[in-house]
Structure 1
Amino acid sequence: MEELRTIHKKELRDLQARITQKKKSATKKTRKGVNEECEALERQLKEKQDLELSELAGGLPTNNMNGGIVGDEPEEPEETDEPPFPGQPDRIQKSLRSLSPPSLQSIQPERPRKPNRQKARLARRTAEQETLAAQAAEEAANLPDLREQERLTMLKEFEVHGLSEKEVRPDGHCLYSAVADQLAELGIDLEPKLASTTAPNGVEGSRNELPEYSRVRMVTAKFISEHPDDFSPFLEEPLSEYVHKIRDTAEWGGQLELLALARAYGAQINVLQGDGRIVSVGPGEGVSDGKELWLAYYRHSFGLGEHYNSLRKGK
């Protein structure tokens, strides 16, 4: 009996070491399954040892002679790999197996399972992604609302300069649509000194049948093509291709187009920026008839990005 109890204590210590190792290698997702597996191992070992003690005692109840699974600290000093009574443990084990019914012979401690490295990698990757997402959300929450800031600045400047705003469609033609609205307000012809009647894409027809923004595009393209020395140094492509994009596509307009528009229509174009600054583009020397066009330029307030609206004097 003492020899069997000694064997049982060693089995308990070995099992406790396995359980400790399993729990250390468990991840957040596998912890529940590992705990259930450890409880099953403890229960199987306890049942096995109780049956062995009962068999050795002649079938009498053992009243839990081993007292269940021990804690992290062993009840007795750590034993060496050598059995306490050389030659006895193996003989006793064989004897117990020969006396046990077949159902008892099948009760064996489970072999330690290798940790699933793929699941561990997936768990680590998921944890890293969750951490990065939380950090990104926190950074986004701390960023200023650029759209709101830009809109508030614009409204303040409208009050200062006595302007009201007319929104135009953010479709790539917004600069030309806003200029066309300004020209109509001032009573300026959309096609000053326009020699050609050719519409975009080479279609012949009445210019008045074209959209207003398209007619303004034609004026811009014509002025740039007639003044290549003023614009070619600032281009990264042939002048003909650049003029084609202005006249026949929905290419956005920028600083060069503003300059061409101001000179073609002989008017000063004032562009109110989202930060409160006003950028003025003049018609050139010798032109001072007092015509002014007002545009609002946004960087953050519209989904497609940069955008122009028309501004009118008065409210």
Structure 2
Amino acid sequence: MSDEIIARHKKEVRDLIATVTGLKKQATKKNRKEIMKQCQEKEDELKARHKQELSEDATIEGSNKGENESESDEFSPEKLLAQLELEKTQAPVEIPAVTLHNEPKKKRNRQKERLAKRDASIQQMKDEASKEAELQTDFRALELENMDALFKAGGYTQKEIKADGHCLFASIVDQLKLRHDVDTTIQELRTRAANYMRANPDTFAPFLFDEETMTIRDITEYTEKIENTPMWGGDMEILALAVEYNCPITVVMSGRAPLRMNEEGVAPGLKLAYYKHAFGLGEHYNSLHDQEK
């Protein structure tokens, strides 16, 4: 999914919140019902347009890659808040104060007024945050929907892998048994990937570049964590293991063409599914099996 589209959608959501808030403040007892209807229509139109644009963006990105397996946009991740209803409470009716000439004026409690003003400001921020969350696209649901379509188009069934830091390696363990009849372990794969990266540091230097510090991370430190901790694996480890087992590895994902590593490998290819939004812990990999014909 285009980062520009996501950024624009977020801005449009904030703009709409401001517009709706302004309309509600202008509402009177006579026109409140019509104002609330207009606000709801604006929100429904924005949500529908955002969903349509995301779907069209997914179709364009997938078709531009020219792959045989259809793709849709990533939703791709990261869970989101459930939809909240629009505030439908009517504006309070102002009751004119009655002045009693003989009644002494009450002393203002300025501290109480400040606290009330602060509480009102906090509540307004909460309301605006809830409204923005309501209008955001449900990336998790859309990612799952698009991945299901990719699996049907590619003829895959999915084997669920435990969602933790080992999921990439556990998926490859399953694939090696399925397609190479090789028994291995998560720890063995971590060690083989780490050893290959240490032996070929120049190949992996681009992956280790830190844009914030403008430096390249130390590969020895990185590979020690990969080998000896449950740290998540990614593209570097996929490439290393594809070369180690002399096979291509294909990763199916939403919103873009499949990632293919070591396409020149001669052994049967391994096939994985990658999720960005569907699992609470973050990025996740599953193992893909071929559907029985």
For normalisation by structure 2, the TM-score amounts to 0.60
Indicate the residue corresponding to 1:280 in structure 2. Answer: 260
- Whole-Å Cα distance in 2 between the matches of residues 247 and 263 of structure 1? 17
Work out which of the two has the higher radius of gyration on C-alpha atoms and give 1 or 2: 1
**1:296 paired residue among 258, 273, 291:** 273
Indicate the residue corresponding to 1:226 in structure 2. Answer: 199
- Whole-Å Cα distance in 2 between the matches of residues 123 and 233 of structure 1? 54
Question: How many residues are aligned here?
Answer: 194
Tell me by how many angstroms 1:233 deviates: 4.9
- Whole-Å Cα distance in 2 between the matches of residues 296 and 217 of structure 1? 19
1:216 partnered with 2:193:
no
Give ranges in structure 2 of 5+ residues lacking alignment: 1-90, 209-215
Indicate the residue corresponding to 1:311 in structure 2. Answer: 288
**1:121 paired residue among 111, 114, 120:** 114
Partners of 1:190 and 1:215 within 8 A in 2: no
Indicate the residue corresponding to 1:135 in structure 2. Answer: 128
Tell me by how many angstroms 1:275 deviates: 2.1
SS of the residue aligned with 1:250?
Answer: coil
Tell me by how many angstroms 1:256 deviates: 1.1
Partners of 1:296 and 1:310 within 8 A in 2: yes
Tell me by how many angstroms 1:113 deviates: 3.4
- Higher RCO (CA-CA < 8 Å; seq separation 6+): 2
- Whole-Å Cα distance in 1 between the matches of residues 246 and 263 of structure 2? 5
Indicate how the Cα distance of structure 1 residues 227 and 283 shifts in structure 2: closer, same or farther if over 3 A, else same.
farther
1:157 partnered with 2:150:
yes
Partners of 1:262 and 1:268 within 8 A in 2: yes
Indicate how the Cα distance of structure 1 residues 188 and 145 shifts in structure 2: closer, same or farther if over 3 A, else same.
same
Partners of 1:258 and 1:281 within 8 A in 2: yes
Indicate the residue corresponding to 1:182 in structure 2. Answer: 175
Indicate the residue corresponding to 1:269 in structure 2. Answer: 249
1:47-66 Cα deviation digits (max 9, x unpaired): xxxxxxxxxxxxxxxxxxxx
Structure 1 letter corresponding to 2:136: L
Tell me by how many angstroms 1:252 deviates: 0.8
Matches within 5 A, 1:241-256: 241-256=221-236
Matches within 5 A, 1:51-66: none
Tell me by how many angstroms 1:183 deviates: 0.4
Structure 1 letter corresponding to 2:229: T
1:133-167 Cα deviation digits (max 9, x unpaired): 22222221111111110001011111101000011
Q: Find runs of 4+ consecutive structure 1 residues off by over 4 angstroms.
A: none
- Whole-Å Cα distance in 2 between the matches of residues 230 and 275 of structure 1? 27
1:4-62 Cα deviation digits (max 9, x unpaired): xxxxxxxxxxxxxxxxxxxxxxxx9xx99xx7xx78x66xx4xxxxxxxxxxxxxxxxx
Calculate the aligned-residue CA RMSD, in Å: 2.6
- Whole-Å Cα distance in 1 between the matches of residues 256 and 147 of structure 2? 7
